[in-house]
Structure 1
Amino acid sequence: MRVTLLGTGDTTGTPTVGCECDTCETARERGVERSRFSVHVENERRGESLLVDASPDFRHQFLTHETPLPDEVVVTHVHFDHLDGLGNAYRLLGDLPVHAADETDPETGESVAETVASKFDYLDQLDVRHETPFEPFEACGLRVTLVPVDHPPLLCYGLAIEDPETGAKLSLSGDTSYGIPDDSRAALADPDLLLADAIVPARLCEYHPLGGGHEDEEGVARTFGTKHMTTEGALALADDLRAAEVRLVHVSHFPTPEEAFGDPAAVDGERYVL
């Protein structure tokens, strides 16, 4: 399974439009980018590819990186930076299965799958598949499992993606705080590669109206506000899950350039073969 990180940024991306901070300027100088989140997973045996989340930067990502257009899609939650790229199916893609969770979100009154179906009801190409969390389903010959994480107020899901022939495993934390339930952690455990939400270093929690949460024994916040992990939280999760390798994604432009572009923070275009 070949994994391409098409989009590794948060909702504004890096460089952020109109921003002249050191991190955005460094990104421009280096010619690197973090567009809105999306991951391409190719099953090379079958010549098929699965897209995890449809970024609003879909067109730019597929023009920039040499990856085939997706045969199937999984949507983790209904925030625009993970969903709105589905509109690119129009006049570009044929029949496109879109997998999403089937449990009703008390906040919206509908499941992620139902929201996708209603939001894109004008796209005949989309075939929305309603999937039950913790119940594996097949997509592009891979075994995929949606696992609930913690991204209030909306329901959100991480993913375990496994190659049933080789045993290779990719886990994605999804947009989440460090407070991922134990049963979800068990489903995500022991990946060859973990893509972990890490929006800012813990020191920046002082600038969030709600501060930080899920502090470790030394008082370091592993959650920024309530919705995303800090860098420290993401690395702690990688240790918890016994990840062979971790790359930090959904990174904002608020860290310093040294923090934003130092290992293990990912940038767009990275590729991994599992």
Structure 2
Amino acid sequence: MEVTLLGTGDTTGTPTVGCTCEVCERARDPDDALRTQLRDRGVAVGDRGVERTRFSVHVRNERTDETLLIDASPDFRTQFLREDLDVPDAAVISHVHFDHLDGLGNLYRLTRDMPVYAASEVDPATGRSVAESVRQRYDYLDVIDVRARDPFASFRVAGFDVTLVPVDHPPLSCYGLVVEDPETGAKLSLSGDTSYDVPEESRDALAGADLLLVDGILPADRCDTHPAGGADYVDGVPMTYGSKHMTIEGARRFGEELDAGELRIVHLSHYLPVETAFDRPLAVDGETFVL
């Protein structure tokens, strides 16, 4: 299983349009120390510097040469050109926020048939399942074949066993994912966009991954910038920023609790200390893992 992090940023990405903060400026023009650090991680730093585009993950089955896209970033075209990738064989959508969904519009004229998997259970906030919402939003694209799947019910796609697991991203329904290779036993888990308050059944499903990608948007000491503050305190430290995303501290603890072989924190904002903004386990675009 070959995993490429196509997009590791939040809804605005890093660098953020119009922002001159230290993190965005260092991303635009990385210093030699950062370039060396990223090369050591196998990341090519191009003319545009360091990127954290909107969230998306590419998974290739090396046995069958099939590929799976997890969430369709609005930066789809940039990501696929940057990594020199072909159109994926299938996609899974975790929820209907634009930064995880709107890349599907890029499929027009690129493929004749794209199975897109999403959860079947009805979201009380919308009155529709994620699958129904995707189908309705892209009803003009006949190349998209939306296939509804029940949470916790594994399904086979691209030679992998994939499972959708409910997480906590109010007010919308959102799902983490487990991707397992039935031949090699390799396991990739993604928390999805979520607070730290992930249901125990979902935690159990996500646990023990070779690689765990966890939503962590910014440090706990920035929770005072959110109208709702922080939540899910552990030893006086908020594990959740507001109600929808983990703090960096929450994501680290989540990874420890789930006994991940390797942890990367994703969906990162640019509100980070510049000295450590690009350090492991904070992910950057272009990182590749072979599980």
For this structure pair, what is the TM-score category when the shorter chain's length is used for normalisation?
over 0.9
Q: Pick from 252, 264, 284: which aligns with 1:235? A: 252
2:66 is matched with: 48
Alpha-carbon distance in structure 2 between the residues aligned to 1:37 and 1:227: 15
Q: Pick from 142, 161, 174: which aligns with 1:156? A: 174
The answer to whether the Cα contact below 8 Å between 1:145 and 1:159 also exists between their aligned partners in 2 is: yes
2:276 is matched with: 259
The answer to whether the Cα contact below 8 Å between 2:134 and 2:146 also exists between their aligned partners in 1 is: yes
Kindly state the Cα deviation for residue 107 of structure 1 after the two structures are TM-superposed.
0.5
- Structure 1 counterpart of 2:241, which letter? F
Residue 11 (1) aligns with residue 29 (2): no
Structure 1 alignment gaps of length 5 or more: none
1:176 is matched with: 194
The answer to whether the Cα contact below 8 Å between 1:107 and 1:154 also exists between their aligned partners in 2 is: yes
1:145 is matched with: 163
1:78 is matched with: 96
RMSD, aligned CA: 0.6
Kindly state the Cα deviation for residue 6 of structure 1 after the two structures are TM-superposed.
0.2
The answer to whether the Cα contact below 8 Å between 1:6 and 1:269 also exists between their aligned partners in 2 is: yes
Counterpart of 2:141 in 1: which secondary structure? coil
Q: Percent identity?
A: 64
Residue 250 (1) aligns with residue 267 (2): yes
Alpha-carbon distance in structure 2 between the residues aligned to 1:260 and 1:42: 28
Q: Which digits, 9 at most, give the CA deviation of each residue in 1:168-221, with x for residues without a partner?
A: 0000000000000000001101000000001001010111111101111x2011
Alpha-carbon distance in structure 2 between the residues aligned to 1:121 and 1:259: 43
Where has structure 1 moved over 6 Å in runs of 4 or more? none
Counterpart of 2:214 in 1: which secondary structure? strand
Which deviates more from structure 2 when the two are superposed, residues 136-145 or residues 259-268? 259-268
1:127 is matched with: 145
Counterpart of 1:161 in 2: which secondary structure? strand
Kindly state the Cα deviation for residue 2 of structure 1 after the two structures are TM-superposed.
0.1
Structure 2 alignment gaps of length 5 or more: 31-48
Alpha-carbon distance in structure 2 between the residues aligned to 1:68 and 1:162: 22
Alpha-carbon distance in structure 2 between the residues aligned to 1:191 and 1:98: 24
The answer to whether the Cα contact below 8 Å between 2:87 and 2:110 also exists between their aligned partners in 1 is: no
- Structure 2 counterpart of 1:113, which letter? A
Alpha-carbon distance in structure 1 between the residues aligned to 2:140 and 2:86: 24
The 5 Å alignment of 1:24-63 reads 24-30=24-30, 31-63=49-81
Counterpart of 1:221 in 2: which secondary structure? strand
Counterpart of 2:24 in 1: which secondary structure? helix
What is the aligned length?
Answer: 273
Alpha-carbon distance in structure 2 between the residues aligned to 1:259 and 1:106: 39
Alpha-carbon distance in structure 2 between the residues aligned to 1:258 and 1:198: 17
